[in-house]
Amino acid sequence: MSDVVPGKTEQMRAIKDAIVNLKESPLYEYRTSHNYYPVIGQGSHDASIMFIGEAPGKNEAEQGRPFCGASGRLLDEMLDSINLKREDVYVTNIVKDRPPDNRDPRSEEIELYAPFLDQQIEIIQPEVIATLGRFSMVWILERFGSPKASQKISQLHGQLIPVKAGYGDVMVIPLFHPAAALYRQDQKETLMKDFQVLKEFI
Ligand code: URA
């Protein structure tokens, strides 16, 4: 029998199955007792632009989709400003289950879920990874050994940082988290301006 290489959809499904059954996660019991869903990711498996947020909030865990609350509406507004729709990009998070009370993800949670994100990056093979917020920025820059990993998001936002992924060269662009821009007009303007850099990857 010949070995059949699984397609992108099958590979993503395997990731989903593994996360659904991730009983060793400290967030598993919280998910199941609240009838929440894990949030694997959404969008095109052939996207050239991949967005990586932090972790699902309540809306996301209830619907099983990333960025579907107020931050998501702002993300859609930003996408619209460069004539893109959700289905043109891929959106995911580092941590795939909702942390209680919207607390920050813990390092052991990031370590547990990060290998799934690694696999998703290798499946999608984006040209550019846009990190949303400092958690995903630090994780991605450290993961790819960038010397910029120790710098602050206030210094790095909007910059294209070249790194090497397993499949080849990729650019990372750190962006502020949309939640931070929701109530601060100056941050929203910065995010909108930084977002325009993504046009060159369309
Ligand atoms: N914030 C995130 O970081 N991710 C989501 O999916 C929603 C809100």
Average pLDDT of the residues in 80-89? 98
The closest residue, in CA terms, to atom 7 on ligand 1 is 67
Structure confidence at residue 158 (pLDDT): 98
Q: What is the mean pLDDT of residues 173-184?
A: 96
pTM above 0.95, yes or no: yes
- Of 80, 100, 97, residue with least CA distance to 89: 80
**2 found inside a domain:** no
Task: Report the domain count for the chain.
Answer: 1
DSSP assignment, residue 97? S
Answer yes or no: is pLDDT of 60 > 80.
yes
pLDDT at residue 113 above 70?
Answer: yes
Q: Could you read off the pLDDT of 4-25 as tens digits, one per residue?
A: 888 999 999 999 999 999 999 9
pLDDT at 4: 80
3-state secondary structure of 50: strand
Mean pLDDT of 147-166: 97
pLDDT score of 143: 97
- pLDDT at position 130: 98
CA of 55 relative to ligand 1 center, distance in Å: 5
In a domain, 54, yes or no: yes
Return the closest-CA partner of residue 132 out of 95, 167, 107: 95
187 pLDDT band, cuts 50/70/90, is: very high
Which of these, 149, 91, 79, lies nearest to 120 by C-alpha position? 91
User: Is any atom of ligand 1 closer than 6 Å to the C-beta of 53?
Assistant: yes
Q: If you measure from the C-alpha of residue 109 to the centroid of ligand 1, how many angstroms do you get, rounded to a whole number?
A: 15
Comparing CA positions, the residue from 124, 200, 137 lying closest to residue 163 is: 137
User: Tell me, what's the pLDDT at 2?
Assistant: 54
In a domain, 78, yes or no: yes
72, part of any domain: yes
How far apart are alpha carbons 25 and 95 in whole angstroms?
Answer: 10
pLDDT at position 112: 98
User: What is the mean pLDDT of the segment spanning 96-102?
Assistant: 96
Asked, for residue 45, whether it belongs to a domain, the answer is: yes
At residue 5, the pLDDT reads 82
Please give the distance, rounded to the nearest whole angstrom, from the Cα atom of residue 70 to the centre of ligand 1: 10
Q: Average pLDDT of the chain?
A: 96
Query: Per-residue confidence at 59, pLDDT binned at 50, 70, 90?
Result: very high
Closest by CA position to 55, among listed 17, 22, 92: 92
Pocket test for ligand 1, best of 42, 52, 54, 92 (most atoms within 8 A of CB): 54
- Answer whether residue 3 shows pLDDT above 80: no
Q: What is the pLDDT of residue 52?
A: 98
Residue 24 lies inside a defined structural domain of this protein: yes
Cβ of 174 closer than 6 Å to ligand 1, yes or no, is no
Which CATH number covers residue 87? Answer: 3.40.470.10
Q: Which residues pair with 174 in a beta bridge?
A: 131
- Whether 3 is covered by a domain: the verdict is no
Distance 46 CA to ligand 1 centre (A): 21
Q: Containing domain of residue 22, as a range? A: 8-201
The Cα 127–Cα 41 span in angstroms is: 17
Residue 1, pLDDT above cutoff 70: no
- Which ligand 1 atom sits closest to the C-alpha of 133? 3
State pLDDT tens for residues 40-52: 999 999 999 999 9
| Pocket flag, ligand 1, residue 41 (CB < 6 Å) | no
Q: Is residue 198 over pLDDT 70?
A: yes
